[in-house]
Amino acid sequence: MPTSRSLGRFAAVLAGAALLTSTLTAQARELSVSTVLPDAFPWGQAAQKWADLVEERSGGELTLRVYPNAQLVSGDQTREFSAMRSGLIDLAVGSTINWSPQVPALNLFSLPFFLPDTDAVDAVTGGEAGEMIFSAIEDKGVVPLAWGENGFRQLSNSSTDIDAPSDLEGLKIRVVGSPLFQDTFTALGANPTQMSWADAKPALTTGAVDGQENPLSVFDVARIDQVGQSHLTLWNYMNDPLVFASNRQVWDSLTEDQRAMLRETAVEAGAWEIAKTREEEAGRLAAIRERGVTVTELDDDQYQAFVEATDSVHDEWVPRIGEEIVEAARRDIDAP
């Protein structure tokens, strides 16, 4: 027979266990991570990798939950940065394009034909310009942690092989809702139409637009060839890096160890994703060709014609980005 004393002790043990559980629960914290693309794409995989690494290293103290498809901003991807700044979103792995309306310095990467290759991209993100851009993000109230990569953006359309600016004449091209894109495609003689990614595939399907621009990974995974995009021009006109970042209040509420862990895992996930994106490009291009898409590559003269056609975009946008940042980026690219 249990005595009332042993029962009392048992109750005390139970109460202690309950207290311990609730303390542990109180300590385990879930943070939201916003992305535009889900984990079928390298971009979504970058966010998931970050979440997996945090799971491994935080001992259950921190959990990252990925919300893809810009769902935390109802699909309106150009509002992601503001939502993270205001605390509606804790963390994000976001595109420099989508955040550029709030952080003008991020337009650096969208300057047409400014970054010739991945070496130039790495020189800028890892150089003086990269630091200046991270400061610009901080100044806007968000804490940048690491770089990732959506990739060099290529041009596709449903009607013709494009190897000269004149081929773009009058073509309706879907672009992201960032003003620089409007200017670039207008300078090329096209008819740019701004819309979110969520609306892009339906617009291509119905023929409401003739073309779009996105990295090979996006063209491949989203099967853009299936919505009539049978012509693809490889013109590497801009690169679209991704940035891992945190809301400022969330960041300040973490312990120093947690911050170090979150930054370190973001850097690791970013490096992993950048390498993966680049390694997969050749295979993706081969797959796209096999599906019957005509792929056009530009020779030097053809490339130069596009560069000249978009000169005015530089004149307009370099001052908005900041002359010092553009100059720093040039030095980073030219550094031996």
CA atoms within 13 A on the CB side of 277: 30
**54 or 70: whose CB is closer to ligand X2X?**
70
Cβ nearer to ligand X2X, comparing 114 with 251: 114
Identity of the residue, 58 or 125, whose beta carbon is nearer to ligand X2X in the bound complex: 125
Q: Is 21 exposed, middle or buried (0-12, 13-18, 19+ CB in 10 A)?
A: exposed
Closer Cβ to ligand X2X, 210 or 240, answer by number: 240
Distances (CA, A) of 277 to 46, 152, 274: 10, 10, 5
Q: x/- string (CB under 6 A) for ligand X2X, residues 63-102?
A: --------------x-----------------x-xx----
Q: Which is nearer to ligand X2X, 70 or 136 (CB)?
A: 70
Site string for ligand X2X, 203-222 (x = CB under 6 A): -----------x---x----
36 binds ligand X2X (CB under 6 A): yes
Read off the tokens for 207: 């023929």
Residue nearest to ligand X2X (CB): 197
Minimum Å gap between C-beta 304 and ligand X2X is: 26
**Which of 298, 336, 335, 333 minimizes the C-alpha distance to 119?**
333
Q: With binding defined as CB under 6 A, does residue 180 bind ligand X2X?
A: no
Contact string 9-28 vs ligand X2X (x = CB under 6 A): --------------------
Applying the rule CB under 6 A, the residues between 231 and 290 that interact with ligand X2X are: 240
Residue 162 or 200 having the CB closest to ligand X2X: 200
Applying CB under 6 A, the site for ligand X2X has a residue count of 12
Smallest distance from ligand X2X to CB 299, Å: 27
- Applying CB under 6 A, among 35, 48, 150, 184 the residue interacting with ligand X2X is 150
Nearer Cβ to ligand X2X (214/229): 214
Q: Which is nearer to ligand X2X, 67 or 164 (CB)?
A: 67
Token pair, residue 273, equals 């994703």
User: Cβ distance 45 to 276 under 8 Å?
Assistant: yes
In angstroms and rounded to an integer, the radius of gyration of the C-alpha atoms of the chain is: 23
Total residues belonging to the chain = 336
Cβ-based nearer residue to ligand X2X, 182 or 302 = 182
Nearest-approach distance from CB 153 to ligand X2X, in angstroms:
7
Q: Does 176 bind ligand X2X (CB under 6 A)?
A: yes
Q: Are 321 and 124 in contact (CB under 8 A)?
A: no
d(Cα 34, Cα 38) in Å, to the nearest integer? 10
Site for ligand X2X (CB under 6 A): which residue of 81, 152, 181, 197?
Answer: 197
Residue 42 CB, shortest distance to ligand X2X, in Å, is 11
Among 37, 124, 242, 266, binds ligand X2X (CB under 6 A): 37
Q: Note the residues at the interface with ligand X2X (CB under 6 A).
A: 36-37, 77, 95, 97-98, 150, 176, 197, 214, 218, 240
